[in-house]
Amino acid sequence: MECVTTTSYSISLNGSLHDMFEGKRGLRQGDPLSPFMFVLRIEYLSRSLNIAKANPDFNFHPRCEANQITHFTFADDLMLMARGDPISVRILMECLSSFSDKSGLSMNALKSDLYTATIMGEDL
């Protein structure tokens, strides 16, 4: 068994293969390290969210305040919780933005939802 140390790709366009190019970033699909790398990155985000909740302007969701819960992670999903005020939402979004800049991971807007009970869209 040989160890693969580099990856290269070619694109088939209109039935013909074009020049090869090297994969420069990330892990290949199915790489055994992928889940481990994802967990490490999400752990960084989790710690960042725990720091953000210490911000005096952050308000917990009313049902989460007693236990100071800001988020849940499930496999490759994340649920954030805060009171529905613009400042608390901004604090969480700044955390996500910083995480995205540092990790290279970003939120898929097409697969994401924001539910607010007390603020209007124009206030976000």
pLDDT in tens, 18-34: 888 777 766 666 777 77
For the chain, give every domain's residue range.
34-111
Which one, of 69, 92, 71, lies nearest residue 80 by Cα? Answer: 71
List residues bridging with 37 in a β-sheet. none
In whole angstroms, what is the distance from residue 54 CA to residue 67 CA?
13
Q: Which residue has the higher pLDDT, 42 or 114?
A: 42
67 in Cβ contact with 50 (< 8 Å): no
59 in Cβ contact with 82 (< 8 Å): yes
- Mind listing the pLDDT tens digit for each residue in 72-114? 888 778 888 898 888 998 999 999 999 999 888 888 888 888 7
In whole angstroms, what is the distance from residue 23 CA to residue 7 CA?
6
pLDDT reported for residue 95: 93
Other Cβ atoms less than 10 A from the Cβ of 71: the count is 20
Residue 96 in tokens: 């996500």
Model confidence at 9, pLDDT cuts 50, 70, 90, reads confident
Helices (H), the chain: 34-52, 86-103
In the predicted structure, residue 124 carries a pLDDT above the cut 60: no
pLDDT reported for residue 94: 94
Q: Is the pTM of this model over 0.75?
A: no
